[in-house]
Amino acid sequence: MRDHTPSDARRQRRPVGPPVAPVFVDPAKFPDVYALTADGDCMGAELPNGAKLGFTTAERPRRGDIVVLWFRPGRVPAGPHQARVKRLVREPPSWVSFPHQDVPGSEVEPFLAVEMTHPPRRFEIRCADLLAMHKFIGVIPPERLAWPKVPAEAVALDGRP
């Protein structure tokens, strides 16, 4: 049997109070153009960590475009952020709009596919898991940083789908 020292007791303590809920933003309320800060390097040198990224809600993304994927609460991949930035390699079907709801009883579940470059990986994502997908329009130069920004807790470039 092991002696319990004060340091053992500290390790076993649990936080007091309710858990802190993650911050979720509603992409339907975003302006036509907004900015995010890249957090990670999964898109390689094209979108370096810390870069300010501009996105538009007004233009439908096409295959080959860089996009930000806004996940529904409860569908967010492991990690601290609600959104992921990837390259779109397979568009969702033309009849899908976001937020998408699967039709109950249907055997059809629309997917889209995205990729990252560092390391090279592809992912398929159910359209029903997303609130929105917005097109990347460019890295924002430091002198233009007055664009509307989304909370930093909400987005990441982190290598996860």
CATH number of the domain that residue 128 is part of: 2.10.109.10
Within a domain: 13: no
Is the per-residue pLDDT at 3 higher than 80?
Answer: no
Within a domain: 60: yes
Domain count, the chain: 1
Within a domain: 68: yes
- Structural domain including 138 reads 22-101+109-156
d(C-alpha 3, C-alpha 23), whole Å:
41
Within a domain: 9: no
Within a domain: 8: no
Instruction: Convert the pLDDT of each residue in 74-87 to its tens digit.
Output: 887 666 788 999 99
Q: Are 78 and 64 in contact (CB under 8 A)?
A: no
d(C-alpha 21, C-alpha 15), whole Å:
14
d(C-alpha 125, C-alpha 127), whole Å:
6
Instruction: Convert the pLDDT of each residue in 83-111 to its tens digit.
Output: 999 999 999 999 999 899 888 888 889 99
Within a domain: 113: yes
